[in-house]
A = this chain, B = another copy of it.
Amino acid sequence: MYRTKVYYQDTDAGGVVYFANYLKLFEKSWFEYLLSNGISLPDWEQQGTFVLVKNVLLDLLDKAYYGEELEARTSVSDVKNAQFTLTHAVFRNGKAIARGETLMVCVDVKGKPRRIPEDFKKRLIACQTSSATMI
């Protein structure tokens, strides 16, 4: 989960958040979400496991304006051996204004695909289970 306001740097000449900036918000959201579930991406990098984005879906449902408060939330929707899927939503006053999905792959320091390390995977699965329970 990541809360932020819309600053000038996030907007474009249309007066609203520039579409590509929702992906940046997703990144902040998944970083904090994973961290709060015991998965520190910077720590895993130190140990040689890197996480890359492979695929992105983004749906823009409404506009967001300068000064507004946004909240991005992430959940784990699928976990495989070497990749996992995250689902993201951005809310303003509790209403979703953007939704998205990112397929993440694990690679080693040379960029070669590798299995998700055991502890990392265990925690992802725990996230997934708890998200499912919340529904």
Interface residues, chain A, with chain B CB atoms under 8 Å away: 5, 7-9, 11-16, 18-21, 23-24, 27-28, 31, 40-43, 45, 50, 52-60, 63, 65-67, 111
- CB-based contact A53/B57 at 8 Å: no
Check A60/B55 contact, CB under 8 A, given A12-B8, A12-B13, A24-B9: yes
Query: For residue A56, which residue of chain B has the nearest CB?
Result: B58
Query: For residue A32, which residue of chain B has the nearest CB?
Result: B5
- CB-based contact B63/A59 at 8 Å: no
A50 CB contacts on chain B under 8 angstroms: 14
19 pairs, A vs B, C-beta closer than 8 Å: A5-B31, A7-B27, A8-B18, A8-B27, A9-B12, A9-B18, A11-B13, A12-B12, A13-B13, A13-B15, A19-B23, A20-B21, A20-B24, A42-B67, A45-B66, A53-B60, A55-B57, A56-B56, A56-B58
